[in-house]
């Protein structure tokens, strides 16, 4: 048996040798693993040391074709993906120009330090502002170059070969890149952009516009026509460009709801910056709703005291002015909305404490399904004149007009009677200075958590901190949540969970890890896990105790604005501030949004009989519009906007005074337009909150996510004007809306972009009517490529835009699209 096994082994060896030699293979390679590894290491090293462009492109039949960098012989002229995209096929601008586009596909190299602005205007303010716009333009490009030339992901330092490759300007085509800006007047938005290679070394980009904003939009177009080539390590642009452009609609809006979730000022600015690249021009700031009132009014900070989620989650007048200045330089107007009379609850419930009566009704009333369309409930009191006076003052800071003198004198008389009555009762009239006997609150010095909680029947109940006596043991929200009811762990334990609700305080430096694991890799691993555990807790503590999100510190002006009750006396009755403050802060006097939808009959019916919701709403809206005009220095805004609803169907207001923002369907839009009203479209495909924009049914919080989000293609194809081609003059434009029941600032970039960009330029396939907000290109497949390029630009600018398809499709233009027929 042993002899047989030995013969078998010899046979196998001979067979193996005879196989390798006839085929010219060296059996040594079977054991020369070091040689194989060295070759692998060499290839790997070459790959890591390459410039990162293993794929190169060539323009073939107006289409960019990808090849591996080892197959250069198949190309007449190889390029990077971006250079090929910009020089091959249709021009890659978003939104597409409306009038005329002529380009030459030759590319020229330049460096940022060669760009020079030559501004031909005489207006001093315009000159100053446009220099700021130009600086933003340059800063954006510098940011792109910085990110493109940052250290390679694989290496800690660049080797000498790569370092030398990053020395820009050695082989540039342009020594001077001049941007000449001519602004004719300050009213129109038409613009043109012409570029030319004046001589071998000079390049002129001539921008001619009829307004400051037109010139800014043209500069944004120019920014899309320069790009940084990572293979060439240089900036490139097209040798000759001639573009004539103008928007088709004056109103190209985006609404952000900052009431249902708070959004930091930085997140709002980031959204506005993205809007400017897409040439959207109105930021509709839905700043308040029944959930919260985050705006700290200079004259009525009680609204934020009772309505904000916390002190950190508020907006001061300085914040709004800062956002307004930021937006103005990007060609965007801020339109604020203090929603009324419905959607007004938390923040309006301090009236009785200040002797003003009930400013709002049904606030937080349950069951909410009977008194409002969405929790929590709240509607302003249409019979309380103080409500309208507050709204007026939220929009300016003017002195009272003659219209206000009668109610002021009447209320002054009430004060005198009240003082005399208090004297008879032995009360000190000096208490008037402290809010009519109510102790004033210094919000800037008070605890950030003005809402305290108590555990009642295993449920946390919220109370204002002035009313904590109603609780035996008032707590913060998180402490109440952790000690009231079942244990708050996710996912829930599978076998058993037993806890005692007694609280114990400790510091993080008192935590000690006692490991019973002997010295081993497992012990070292768990020590690392413990360090992560501590770092997470330290991070939470650092964020919770850090300085306010908005301010390094409150200045004296803001601090005084947060001290409740100090400035009252007669001025307490001149409470007409809200509209005035916001008009002053945003510098917007032609558009204003009053809110106005979803008034619930059952709420008001509890207080007023007989109840006619239509009459109450109609009178309230007219009164609010009158207050807005007073706040605007007796100038009626060109467009006072309200949301569409069943009540607007029978609106009797002068058509020239109101614009209706339609979110309830095309039938409503058609009826309103035929009655003579101007409209702004915001329905169906232009609701980005993953719910139905026209769905008035009860909110089902458990299944609301199942409805699904609109894709950018859906936004792009949507045409609400399909059946209204003869009424285009009454259609001011359109607006995308992001309601934030289920969106926070950590999701906002991906939810908005690139969807909102599709709003500015959209096309309806297979019908003959094109009604975009900016342009209506007839190309179908190329729109995907242009959108992909634009989306990548947003990412380069720091916007976390959602991907539109797999990266393979990005790198292989035209390979992933359905073949549409051109119209």
Active site residues: 598
How, if at all, do strands 202-209 and 115-120 pair? unpaired
Look at residues 630, 626, 627, 620 and name the one whose alpha carbon lies nearest to residue 596. Answer: 620
3-state secondary structure of 585: helix
Residues ≥6 apart with Cβ < 8 Å to 426: none
Handedness of CA 582, 583, 587, 593 (dihedral sign): positive
Residue 469 in tokens: 């006596």
Look at residues 589, 260, 609, 235 and name the one whose alpha carbon lies nearest to residue 396. Answer: 589
The DSSP secondary structure of 499-536, one letter per residue, reads ---------GGG------SPSSHHHHHHHHHHHHHHHH
User: Alpha-carbon distance 19 to 99, whole Å?
Assistant: 73
Count CB-CB contacts under 10 A for residue 270: 21
How, if at all, do strands 176-183 and 115-120 pair? parallel
**What distance lies between CA 617 and its chain's CA centroid?**
31
3-state secondary structure of 14: helix
**Angle value at C-alpha 69, between 64 and 75, nearest 5 degrees:** 50
Q: Give the C-alpha distances (Å, rounded to integers) separating 33 from 40, 97, 567, 706, 738.
A: 11, 61, 86, 55, 60
324: alpha, beta or left? (left if phi > 0; alpha if psi -120 to 50): alpha
364: alpha, beta or left? (left if phi > 0; alpha if psi -120 to 50): left
Q: List the end-to-end C-alpha distance of the chain, in Å, as a whole number.
A: 84
Backbone angles phi, psi at 688, to 5 degrees: -100, 10
User: Alpha-carbon distance 805 to 791, whole Å?
Assistant: 11
**Angle value at C-alpha 201, between 197 and 206, nearest 5 degrees:** 35
User: Alpha-carbon distance 764 to 823, whole Å?
Assistant: 10
3-state secondary structure of 4: helix
Contact present, 640 and 659 (Cβ < 8 Å) = yes
User: Alpha-carbon distance 474 to 468, whole Å?
Assistant: 6
């Amino acid at each position: 048996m042993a002899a047989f096994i030995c013969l078998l082994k010899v046979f196998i060896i001979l067979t193996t040798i005879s196989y390798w030699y006839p085929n010219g293979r060296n059996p040594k390679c079977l054991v020369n693993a070091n040689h194989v590894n060295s070759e692998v290491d060499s290839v790997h090293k070459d790959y890591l040391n390459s410039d990162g462009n293993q794929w190169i492109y060539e323009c073939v039949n107006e289409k960019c074709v990808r090849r591996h960098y080892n197959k250069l012989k198949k190309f007449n002229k190889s390029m990077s993906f971006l250079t090929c995209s910009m020089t091959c096929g249709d021009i890659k601008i978003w939104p597409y120009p409306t009038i005329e586009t002529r380009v030459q596909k030759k590319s020229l190299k330049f460096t940022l330090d060669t760009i020079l602005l030559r501004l031909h205007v005489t207006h001093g303010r315009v000159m100053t502002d446009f220099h700021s716009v130009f600086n933003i333009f340059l800063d954006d490009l510098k940011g792109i170059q910085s990110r493109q030339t940052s250290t390679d992901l694989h290496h800690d330092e660049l080797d000498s070969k790569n370092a030398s490759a990053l020395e820009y300007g050695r082989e540039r085509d342009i020594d001077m890149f001049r941007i000449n800006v001519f602004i004719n007047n300050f009213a129109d938005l038409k613009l043109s952009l012409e570029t030319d290679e004046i001589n071998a070394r000079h390049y002129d980009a001539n921008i001619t516009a009829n307004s400051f904003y037109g010139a800014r939009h043209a500069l944004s177009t120019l920014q899309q026509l320069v790009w940084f080539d990572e293979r060439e390590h240089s900036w490139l642009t097209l040798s000759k460009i001639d573009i004539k452009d103008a928007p088709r609609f004056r109103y190209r809006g985006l609404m952000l709801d900052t009431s249902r979730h708070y959004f930091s000022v930085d997140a709002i600015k980031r959204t506005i910056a993205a809007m400017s690249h897409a040439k959207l021009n109105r930021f509709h700031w839905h700043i308040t709703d029944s959930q919260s009132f985050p705006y700290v009014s200079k004259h009525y900070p009680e609204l934020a005291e009772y309505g904000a989620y916390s002190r950190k989650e508020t907006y001061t007048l300085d914040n709004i002015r800062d956002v307004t200045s930021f937006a103005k330089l990007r060609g965007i107007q801020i339109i604020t909305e203090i929603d009324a009379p419905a959607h007004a609850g938390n923040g309006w419930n301090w009236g009785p404490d200040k002797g003003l009566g009930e400013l709002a009704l049904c606030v937080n009333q349950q069951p909410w399904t009977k008194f409002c369309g969405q929790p929590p409930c709240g509607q302003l009191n249409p019979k309380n004149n103080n409500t309208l006076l507050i709204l007026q003052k939220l929009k300016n800071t003017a002195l009272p007009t003659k219209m206000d003198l009668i109610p002021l004198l009447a209320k002054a008389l009430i004060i005198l009677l009240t003082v005399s009555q208090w004297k008879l009762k032995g009360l000190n009239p000096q208490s008037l200075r402290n809010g009519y006997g109510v102790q004033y609150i210094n919000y800037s010095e008070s605890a950030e958590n003005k809402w305290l909680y108590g555990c009642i029947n295993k449920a946390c109940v919220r109370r204002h901190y002035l009313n904590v006596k109603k609780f035996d043991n008032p707590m913060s929200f998180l402490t109440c949540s952790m000690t009231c009811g079942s244990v708050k762990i996710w996912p829930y334990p599978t076998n058993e969970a037993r806890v005692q609700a007694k609280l114990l305080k400790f510091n993080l430096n008192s935590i000690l890890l006692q490991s019973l694991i002997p010295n081993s890799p497992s012990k070292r691993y768990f020590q690392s896990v413990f360090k992560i555990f501590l770092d997470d807790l330290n991070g939470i503590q650092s964020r919770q105790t850090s300085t306010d999100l908005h301010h390094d510190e409150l200045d004296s002006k803001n601090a005084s604005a947060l001290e409740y009750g100090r400035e009252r006396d007669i001025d307490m009755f001149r409470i007409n501030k809200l509209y005035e403050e916001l008009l002053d802060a945003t510098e917007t006097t032609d558009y204003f949004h009053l809110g106005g939808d979803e008034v619930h009959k059952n709420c008001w019916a509890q207080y007023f009989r007989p109840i006619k919701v239509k009459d109450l709403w109609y009178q309230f809206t007219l009164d609010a519009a009158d207050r807005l005009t007073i706040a605007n220095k007796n100038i009626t805004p060109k467009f006072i906007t309200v949301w569409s609803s069943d009540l607007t169907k029978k609106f009797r207001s002068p058509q020239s005074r109101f614009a209706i923002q339609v979110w309830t369907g095309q039938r409503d839009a058609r009826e309103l337009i035929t009655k003579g009203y101007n409209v702004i479209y915001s329905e169906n495909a232009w609701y980005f909150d993953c719910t139905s924009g026209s769905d008035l049914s009860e909110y089902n919080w458990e299944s609301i996510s199942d409805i699904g989000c609109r894709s950018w293609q859906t936004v792009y194809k949507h045409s609400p004007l399909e059946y209204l081609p003869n009424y285009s003059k009454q259609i001011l434009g359109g607006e995308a809306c992001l309601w934030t029941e289920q969106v926070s600032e950590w999701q906002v970039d991906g939810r908005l972009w690139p969807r909102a960009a599709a709003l500015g330029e959209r096309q309806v396939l297979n019908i003959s009517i094109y009604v975009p907000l900016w342009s209506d290109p007839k190309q179908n497949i190329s729109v995907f490529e242009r959108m992909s390029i634009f989306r990548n630009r947003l990412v380069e600018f720091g916007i976390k835009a959602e991907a539109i398809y797999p990266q393979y499709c990005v790198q292989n233009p035209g390979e992933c699209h359905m073949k549409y027929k051109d119209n």
